Amino acid sequence: MNEIVPVVEMTDIAIGFPGVKALDGVNFRLFQGEVHALMGENGAGKSTLIKALTGVYTIDSGTITVLGEHKQFPTPAASQAAGISTVYQEVNLCPNLTVEENVMLGREPRRRGSIDWKGVRSRTREVLAELHLNHVDPGSLLSSHSIAVQQLIAIARSVEINAKVLILDEPTSSLDADEVNQLFRVIRDLRDRGVAILFVSHFLEQVYEISDRMTVLRNGKLVGEYLTRDLSRMGLISKMIGKEMEALAELDQAPARTRARTDSEVTPFVEARGLGRKGSVSNVDLSIYPGEVVGLAGLLGAGRTEIARLLFGADKADEGSIRVKGVSQRIRSPRTAIDKRIGFCSEDRKEEGLIGDLSVRDNLMLAMQASKGWARRIPRRVQDELVAEYIATLDIRPANPDALIRNLSGGNQQKVLLARWLITSPELLILDEPTRGIDIGAKTQIQKLVNKLATEGMSILFISSELEEVLRLSDRVAVIKDREMVAEIKNDDVSVEDVMTVIAGGTQ
């Protein structure tokens, strides 16, 4: 077998979206019989690279070769024809069809124009048997099976087309430990049979368990390709998050702030015990005291946003309890959370924050107006005062309340969203990546604001991928890894390295 020629080789790949370079000069190669992990934070370009390879996106420049042959993938069908098969996290099969149809769809054997259903069944049985899924009835509906089995059925589809390359995009995120083990056994079998497997996961431990080699991306650029056994967890993490935080070191040190009292005599503003949600995060214990900034550290995708959403009622928790000011509460919707004086700035400004076609004024007033109800419009005079005040304090530019918010820069949009909550004078503000993708000036302003608010007694849950930022602002840091809270560190002289060690090494 020719070991030199990679099954897939992508050279100098570039893909751009309006305003963003999603991939820039990335090289990637995949060999037969290996499990290759593609690593990087959210937004690093992993999924863009996969979509380029599966024909969902077309590349702007660069070349893709499969077994040395130049290929172009204008459609998913073209990529599949070249022997590349993908199993996505959300299982891209059709739940309304049977197992056998999902395995064979589009490639059913035919006899005189009619689908040979007997052939479909026997071929499906063969493939399922190869994956030791004999107990799965080919005629049963896909939706009657667990996600784990659905994923294996998706893999069966790849086996059926004799895929040379199998891409597994976050296959384990909704599986429990047993299911992951079983999936890994199938992956190893396929690898041993010569299939090239591209594995993407946020779970570091799983990556180390299953992969032979890894390629690391950061901000759409290639960091490097490494043998898994040669790269320590610490090394990997620092390559993934990079050293760009040095650029921030020149920022003013946060002004000294008196620590919030967190002793037993003070009731925490919010106290979560064993909070969790199936397929999301589990077992979160977290207390936030008045005037305290708690940072959530962990890699992107580790479960930080999920915790924030549970606290805010954006997703309903199905286990654990939440107490607000010592009183047990069921937070069923954002509205309930807001009534309890909680605010939440989502990391996804565009989809979950901005009302793009409305003005700065309307966006600023939205949360307050929503809690007053539609009938009691906040008088224009009050609006003008509040809007003018927050535009001035947060230095929102342009200082025009009637500008459409979608025309503002990212930093100014973020400030508007912050102001939307500040107007409601919350007692707990959850900030999910408030400084991502905005310019340094706005970033500093937001950091200072966080400090000021905490000094004034507000509780703040601060989420950021930049550990330095988290450490600079937080009184305490909760470390999230693989969808669980693994440690809580009091921030006395904790260094970035200390936290990274925790993230890399598991529990303290």
Partner 1 sequence: MSSLSTLTPLTVKEPTPLRNRMRGGARYAPTLATLGLFIAMFAVGAGMYPSFLSGQVFLNLFIDNTFLIVLAVGMTFVILTGGIDLSVGAVVALSMMVSATLLQQGWNPATVIFLVLVIGGGLGLLMGLIIQYFDIQPFIVTLAGMFLARGLCYVISLDSIPVTEGFFTSVAQAQIPLSGDLFVSPGVLLALAIVAAAFFILHHTRFGRTVYAIGGNEHSAMLMGLPVTRTKVLVYALSGLCSAVAGVLFSFYSLSGYSLAAQGMELDAIAAVVIGGTLLTGGTGYVLGSVVGVLVLGIVQTFIAYDGTLSSWWTKIVIGGLLLVFILLQRLFARRTA
Partner 2 sequence: MKSLMKNRLAWPVIALAALLLLNQIFRPDFLSLRMQDGHLYGSIIDIMRNGAPTILIALGMTLVIATRGIDLSVGAVVAIAGAASCAYIAASPEPASPVTAAMAVLIAVMAGLFLGLWNGFLVSTVGVQPIIATLVLMTAGRGIAQLITGGQIVSVSNDHYKSIGAGYLFTLPISILITAAVFVLAAVLTRRTALGTLVEAVGINPVASRLAGLRSRNIIWIVYVFSAVCAAIAGLMISSNVTAADANNAGLYIEMDAILAVVIGGTSLAGGRYTLAGTVIGAFIIQTLTTTVYTLGIPPEVTLVFKALVVITVCLLQAPKARNLLRSLKAAPKPGTKEKVAI
Residues contributing to the site for partner 1 (CB under 8 A)? 54, 56, 75-77, 79-81, 86, 88, 92-97, 101, 105-106, 108, 110, 113-115, 117, 130-137, 139-141, 143-146, 148-149, 152, 157, 178-179, 182, 185-186, 189, 192-193
* Residue selected from 358, 410, 437, 486 as contacting partner 2 according to rule CB under 8 A: 358
State both tokens at 435. Answer: 């400084």
Instruction: Identify whether 171 is preceded by a cis peptide bond (ω within 30 of 0).
Output: no
> What, of partner 2, partner 1, none, does residue 136 touch, CB below 5 to 8 Å by kind?
partner 1
Terminal C-alpha separation, the chain? 46
Complex with partner 2: residue 138 or 426, whichever CB lies closer? 426
> What, of partner 2, partner 1, none, does residue 498 touch, CB below 5 to 8 Å by kind?
none
Task: Tell the smallest beta-carbon distance from residue 144 to partner 1 (Å).
Answer: 4
CB 272 within 8 A of CB 286: yes
Regarding 381 and contact with partner 2 (CB under 8 A), the answer is no
Complex with partner 1: residue 131 or 322, whichever CB lies closer? 131
> What, of partner 1, partner 2, none, does residue 58 touch, CB below 5 to 8 Å by kind?
partner 2
Task: Tell the smallest beta-carbon distance from residue 420 to partner 2 (Å).
Answer: 7
List Cβ neighbours of 93 (8 Å cut-off, separation of 6 or more).
102, 142, 150, 153, 154, 157
Distance CA 44, CA 403 (A): 32
Instruction: Identify whether 334 is preceded by a cis peptide bond (ω within 30 of 0).
Output: no
| 3-state secondary structure string across 7-52 | CEEEEEEEEEECCEEEEEEEEEEECCCCEEEEECCCCCCHHHHHHH
Regarding 353 and contact with partner 2 (CB under 8 A), the answer is yes
> What, of partner 1, partner 2, none, does residue 353 touch, CB below 5 to 8 Å by kind?
partner 2
> Which of 486, 444, 448, 480 lies closest to 465, judged by CA?
480
Task: Tell the smallest beta-carbon distance from residue 149 to partner 1 (Å).
Answer: 5
Complex with partner 2: residue 65 or 92, whichever CB lies closer? 92
List Cβ neighbours of 120 (8 Å cut-off, separation of 6 or more).
100, 101, 104, 108, 109, 138
Q: How far is CA 62 from the centre of its chain?
A: 27
> What, of partner 2, partner 1, none, does residue 304 touch, CB below 5 to 8 Å by kind?
none
Regarding 375 and contact with partner 2 (CB under 8 A), the answer is yes
Chain positions 60 to 89 lying near partner 2, rule: CB under 8 A, are: 60
Strand partners, 197: 35, 166
CB 1 within 8 A of CB 32: yes
Residue 21, number of CB atoms within 10 A of its CB:
16
Regarding 176 and contact with partner 2 (CB under 8 A), the answer is no
* Residue selected from 191, 420, 443, 476 as contacting partner 2 according to rule CB under 8 A: 420
Task: Tell the smallest beta-carbon distance from residue 11 to partner 1 (Å).
Answer: 25
* Residue selected from 136, 317, 331, 354 as contacting partner 2 according to rule CB under 8 A: 354
List Cβ neighbours of 177 (8 Å cut-off, separation of 6 or more).
none
State both tokens at 270. Answer: 């919010």
Complex with partner 1: residue 67 or 97, whichever CB lies closer? 97
Query: What beta strand segments (E) does 289-338 contain?
Result: 293-297, 319-324, 327-329
Buried-state track 239-256, b at ≥16 Cβ within 10 A, e below 16: bbbeeebeebeeeeebee
Q: How far is CA 166 from the centre of its chain?
A: 22
Regarding 377 and contact with partner 2 (CB under 8 A), the answer is yes
Binding mask 25-64 for partner 2 (x = CB under 8 A): --------------------------x----xxx-x----
* Residue selected from 146, 371, 425, 508 as contacting partner 2 according to rule CB under 8 A: 371
Chain positions 310 to 339 lying near partner 2, rule: CB under 8 A, are: 312, 314, 333-335, 337-338
Regarding 374 and contact with partner 2 (CB under 8 A), the answer is yes
Backbone angles phi, psi at 141, to 5 degrees: -70, 140
Regarding 407 and contact with partner 2 (CB under 8 A), the answer is no
Complex with partner 1: residue 127 or 479, whichever CB lies closer? 127
Distance CA 373, CA 330 (A): 22
Distance CA 112, CA 110 (A): 6
Buried-state track 424-435, b at ≥16 Cβ within 10 A, e below 16: bebbbbbbbbbb
Regarding 402 and contact with partner 2 (CB under 8 A), the answer is yes
Task: Tell the smallest beta-carbon distance from residue 201 to partner 1 (Å).
Answer: 19
Regarding 346 and contact with partner 2 (CB under 8 A), the answer is yes
Distance CA 34, CA 434 (A): 39
* Residue selected from 362, 433, 466, 482 as contacting partner 2 according to rule CB under 8 A: 362
Task: Tell the smallest beta-carbon distance from residue 319 to partner 1 (Å).
Answer: 19
> What, of partner 2, partner 1, none, does residue 54 touch, CB below 5 to 8 Å by kind?
partner 1
Regarding 497 and contact with partner 2 (CB under 8 A), the answer is no
Counted residue by residue, the chain has a size of 508
> What, of partner 2, partner 1, none, does residue 378 touch, CB below 5 to 8 Å by kind?
partner 2
Q: How far is CA 73 from the centre of its chain?
A: 27
Q: Which parts of this chain interact with partner 2 (CB under 8 A)?
A: 17, 51, 56-58, 60, 312, 314, 333-335, 337-338, 344, 346, 351-359, 362, 365-367, 369-378, 402, 404, 420
